[in-house]
């Protein structure tokens, strides 16, 4: 037994040493190669990369492909989300292609494209069925196919219970502190379970190997990791929760809290945007499940399965260089909305959602005009509010309240030829949004609570002229990475009004310094890093499990 122990332990130490050397060598290699070519260096980690090492890695599509090929060689990539990246809608007898307004889609599309994976999602478009093949698949993007979209069909009843009901009336308000009460109905929960089972079956159909790498997205699929794990024990399951996780006391009000935790703990990796949400999750597990929690490692052992719970701040794909100039965008936008050249333009872009603090920013604008009446007639607030979840009463109420408040402000401060707030409550395409970002003098992100918020990062990335000011809520995850924004409490209208004043009068040099710092962060910590770090952690978990299997089985 002792000899056996020595052999096992010795081989473990040697392998661990070899891996560590490989990491150092690859990092050194990366450093040398960085100056010579853009080719990615081999990369492997036994521990999480240190900040300094991380800074040496250039996170690109090539790097991501490379990680998949070398670190998870037999893992075909499968993404599962509720929202599909491309929707086919029948509009006036013609089929139109739409990219939905969703942070999740914005982040995952470039990853799936890069890895030529399969994306499984609910086929929600009125013409979706007409566009798929016999296996419900379609190659996308339609203009230059790079990966497979597998559409899943849901009945109206399933959709209502699982998506509108349990996910959006239950989990969404539960996880966001926005003072909207969650609604939990047993019938919705039944649908949620059934739809999670349906998606699990589709994952099994689409998996080409016993060990696929499956990226499960968001609060629509809390039960899916466990369901997949039961059928594919070797799969690498990376679950990312795009919204905040509440503290244990709040989470405890969910009648099916144990089932949700159990489901998520089928994952190999469970990711949140920030450490606070990881801590809240671990506290919830601690309170409601019998498990072993390793706080140092931020992992949970439960039912024979280990799950790492780590923060992975999501980001965006850095836009291509040499787009048309910011000045051109400003001219186009000003012309479209009939604004005089010396007008200041404030911008908001979001889905029409009560967590985004849209009403609060209008109240702040009202306060601002009251305090600084000299700005009346000299600034316009343009708000894009893409329709979202409009069948739900809370969203319908918000829409109506938005329209009412905008009318009130326009009535109070508007005059001939001057409308202080322009509300665009319709879907825009990405190039239109990009123009708006570049045309604006300032962008307001006043979320009451937000996992990350990609609009803040998109605005910064769009500003290659190093101009423009970002006003950012302290309750958005993005505020952790972008402290050079004007950080505000959206509940404090007076403070937000001061931020508007500061932004509108900020000297160009101050704008440049702040914008440059923020742009450096977003460029470096891009969406490829977000995915790459999760894949690397998944690879090292898989390796550790192999060692664990080898060391545990002979002794047991
Ligand atoms: C969740 C979390 C987290 C907006 N209007 C249109 C449109 N958009 C795009 C924006 C942006 C995305 O939608 C919104 O992203 P956010 O991050 O702000 O918000 P959520 O949708 O709530 O996303 C959030 C995110 O997941 C990622 O993890 O950051 O905290 O709540 O990309 O540009 N896009 C199009 N038309 C529009 O009219 N095409």
* pLDDT band per the 50, 70, 90 thresholds, residue 101: confident
Q: How far apart are CA 270 and CA 251, in angstroms?
A: 17
- 436 ligand 1 Cβ < 6 A: no
- 544 ligand 1 Cβ < 6 A: no
For ligand 1, mutation pick of 386, 454, 470 (most atoms within 8 Å of CB): 454
- 104 ligand 1 Cβ < 6 A: yes
The answer to whether the beta carbons of residues 191 and 166 sit under 8 Å apart is yes
Angle formed at CA 59 by CA 533 and CA 351, multiple of 5 degrees: 75
Instruction: Inform me whether the pLDDT recorded for 394 exceeds 60.
Output: yes
Instruction: Inform me whether the pLDDT recorded for 170 exceeds 90.
Output: yes
Q: What is the pLDDT of residues 316-350, one digit of tens each?
A: 999 887 667 888 999 999 999 999 999 999 999 99
Q: How far is the CA of 408 from the centre of ligand 1 (A)?
A: 27
- 450 ligand 1 Cβ < 6 A: yes
Q: How far is the CA of 103 from the centre of ligand 1 (A)?
A: 3
Q: How far apart are CA 350 and CA 29, in angstroms?
A: 42
According to DSSP, the β-strands at 147-152 and 442-445 are unpaired
Pick from 95-104, 174-183, 273-282, 475-484: least confident: 95-104
- 107 ligand 1 Cβ < 6 A: yes
- 106 ligand 1 Cβ < 6 A: yes
**Cα distances (Å, whole numbers) of residue 78 to 166, 211, 260, 419:** 24, 11, 22, 48
Six-digit token string for 525: 């910590």
Pick from 95-104, 172-181, 309-318: least confident: 95-104
Instruction: Inform me whether the pLDDT recorded for 10 exceeds 50.
Output: no
Instruction: Inform me whether the pLDDT recorded for 9 exceeds 60.
Output: no
- 385 ligand 1 Cβ < 6 A: no
Q: Over range 17-33, report the average pLDDT.
A: 34
Q: What is the pLDDT of residues 397-414, one digit of tens each?
A: 999 999 999 999 999 999
Q: Over range 109-124, report the average pLDDT.
A: 92
Please name the residues in contact with 89: beta carbons below 8 A apart, sequence gap of 6 or more.
95, 96, 97, 98, 125, 126, 127
- 176 ligand 1 Cβ < 6 A: no
Q: How far is the CA of 107 from the centre of ligand 1 (A)?
A: 9
**DSSP class of 476:** B
- 81 ligand 1 Cβ < 6 A: no
Q: Which residue has the least CA distance to atom 26 on ligand 1?
A: 103
User: SS3 for 151?
Assistant: strand
Which pLDDT score is estimated for 42? 36
Instruction: Inform me whether the pLDDT recorded for 44 exceeds 50.
Output: no
Which pLDDT score is estimated for 55? 64
Instruction: Inform me whether the pLDDT recorded for 158 exceeds 80.
Output: yes
Beta strands in 231-387 (DSSP E): 236-240, 269-272, 292-294, 299-302, 305-311, 344-351, 379-386
Please name the residues in contact with 87: beta carbons below 8 A apart, sequence gap of 6 or more.
97, 98, 99, 100, 124, 125, 128
Query: Measured from the CA of 273, which atom of ligand 1 is nearest?
Result: 28
Q: Which residue has the least CA distance to atom 33 on ligand 1?
A: 455
Determine what percent of the chain is predicted with pLDDT higher than 70: 87
Instruction: Inform me whether the pLDDT recorded for 358 exceeds 50.
Output: yes
Q: How far is the CA of 110 from the centre of ligand 1 (A)?
A: 15
* Full-model pTM: 0.89
- 538 ligand 1 Cβ < 6 A: no
**Cα distances (Å, whole numbers) of residue 434 to 9, 202, 464, 531:** 56, 36, 12, 24
**Burial class of residue 523 in the structure, from the number of CB atoms within 10 Å of its CB (0-12 exposed, 13-18 middle, 19+ buried):** middle
**Burial class of residue 2 in the structure, from the number of CB atoms within 10 Å of its CB (0-12 exposed, 13-18 middle, 19+ buried):** exposed
Query: Measured from the CA of 100, which atom of ligand 1 is nearest?
Result: 39
Which pLDDT score is estimated for 62? 87
Q: How far is the CA of 432 from the centre of ligand 1 (A)?
A: 15
Which pLDDT score is estimated for 33? 32
Instruction: Inform me whether the pLDDT recorded for 543 exceeds 50.
Output: yes
Q: What is the pLDDT of residues 201-225, one digit of tens each?
A: 999 999 999 999 999 999 999 999 9
Q: Which residue has the least CA distance to atom 35 on ligand 1?
A: 101
Helix axis angle, 527-555 to 61-71, nearest 10°: 10
Q: How far apart are CA 99 and CA 300, in angstroms?
A: 37
For ligand 1, mutation pick of 100, 351, 446 (most atoms within 8 Å of CB): 351
Q: How far is the CA of 477 from the centre of ligand 1 (A)?
A: 13
Q: Which residue has the least CA distance to atom 11 on ligand 1?
A: 103
- 427 ligand 1 Cβ < 6 A: yes
Q: What is the largest CA-CA distance in the chain?
A: 91
Q: How far is the CA of 356 from the centre of ligand 1 (A)?
A: 10
Please name the residues in contact with 347: beta carbons below 8 A apart, sequence gap of 6 or more.
381, 382, 383, 384, 436, 437, 439, 440, 442, 443, 444, 459
User: SS3 for 217?
Assistant: strand
Helix and strand counts by DSSP (H, E) for the chain: 20, 18
């Amino acid at each position: 037994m002792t000899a056996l122990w020595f052999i096992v332990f010795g081989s473990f130490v040697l392998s661990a040493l070899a891996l560590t050397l490989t990491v150092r060598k690859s990092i050194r290699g990366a450093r040398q190669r960085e100056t010579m070519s853009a080719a990615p260096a081999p990369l492997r980690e036994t521990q999480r990369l240190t900040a300094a090492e991380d800074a040496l890695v250039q996170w690109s599509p090539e790097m991501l492909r490379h990680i998949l090929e070398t670190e998870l060689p037999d893992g075909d990539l499968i993404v599962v989300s509720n929202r599909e990246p491309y929707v086919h809608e029948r509009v006036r007898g013609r089929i139109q292609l739409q990219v939905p307004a969703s942070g999740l889609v914005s982040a995952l599309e470039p990853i799936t494209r890069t890895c030529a994976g399969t994306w499984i999602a609910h086929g929600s478009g009125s013409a979706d069925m007409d566009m798929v093949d016999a296996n419900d698949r379609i190659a996308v993007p339609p203009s230059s196919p790079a990966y497979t979209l597998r559409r899943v069909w849901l009945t109206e009843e399933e959709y209502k219970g699982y998506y509108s009901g349990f996910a959006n009336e239950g989990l969404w308000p539960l996880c966001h502190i926005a003072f909207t009460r969650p609604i939990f109905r047993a019938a919705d929960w039944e649908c949620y379970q059934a739809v999670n089972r349906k998606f699990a079956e589709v994952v099994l159909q689409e998996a080409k190997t016993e060990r696929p790498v499956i990226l499960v997205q968001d609060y629509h699929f809390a039960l899916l990791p466990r369901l997949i794990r039961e059928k594919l024990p070797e799969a690498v399951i990376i679950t990312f929760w795009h919204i905040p996780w509440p503290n244990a006391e709040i989470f405890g009000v969910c009648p099916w809290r144990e089932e949700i935790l159990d489901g998520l703990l089928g994952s190999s990796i469970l990711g949140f945007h920030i450490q606070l949400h990881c801590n809240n999750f671990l506290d919830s597990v601690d309170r409601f499940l019998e498990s072993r929690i390793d706080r140092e490692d931020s992992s949970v052992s439960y039912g024979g399965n280990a799950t790492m719970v780590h923060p992975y701040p999501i980001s965006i794909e850095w836009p291509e260089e040499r787009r048309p100039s910011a000045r051109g965008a400003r001219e186009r936008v000003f012309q479209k909305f009939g604004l005089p050249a010396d007008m200041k333009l404030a911008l908001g872009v979001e889905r029409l959602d009560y967590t985004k603090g849209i009403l609060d920013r209008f109240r702040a604008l009202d306060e601002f005009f009251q305090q600084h009446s000299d700005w009346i007639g000299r600034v316009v607030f343009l708000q894009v509010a893409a329709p979202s979840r409009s069948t739900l009463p809370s969203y319908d109420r918000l829409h109506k309240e938005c329209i009412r408040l905008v009318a009130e402000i326009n009535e109070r401060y508007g005059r001939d030829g001057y409308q202080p707030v322009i509300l665009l409550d319709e879907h825009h395409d990405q190039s239109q949004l990009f123009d708006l970002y570049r045309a604006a003098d300032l962008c307001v992100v006043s979320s009451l609570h937000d996992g990350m918020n990609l609009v803040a990062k998109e605005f910064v990335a769009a500003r290659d002229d190093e101009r423009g000011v970002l006003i950012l809520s302290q309750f958005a995850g993005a505020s952790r990475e972008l402290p050079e924004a004007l950080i505000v409490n959206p509940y404090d209208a007076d403070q937000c009004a001061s931020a508007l004043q500061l932004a509108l009068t900020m000297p160009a040099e101050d704008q440049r310094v702040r914008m440059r710092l923020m742009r450096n962060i977003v460029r470096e910590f891009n969406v490829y890093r977000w995915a790459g770090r999760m894949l690397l952690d998944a690879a090292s978990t898989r390796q550790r499990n192999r060692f664990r299997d080898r060391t545990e089985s002979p002794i047991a």
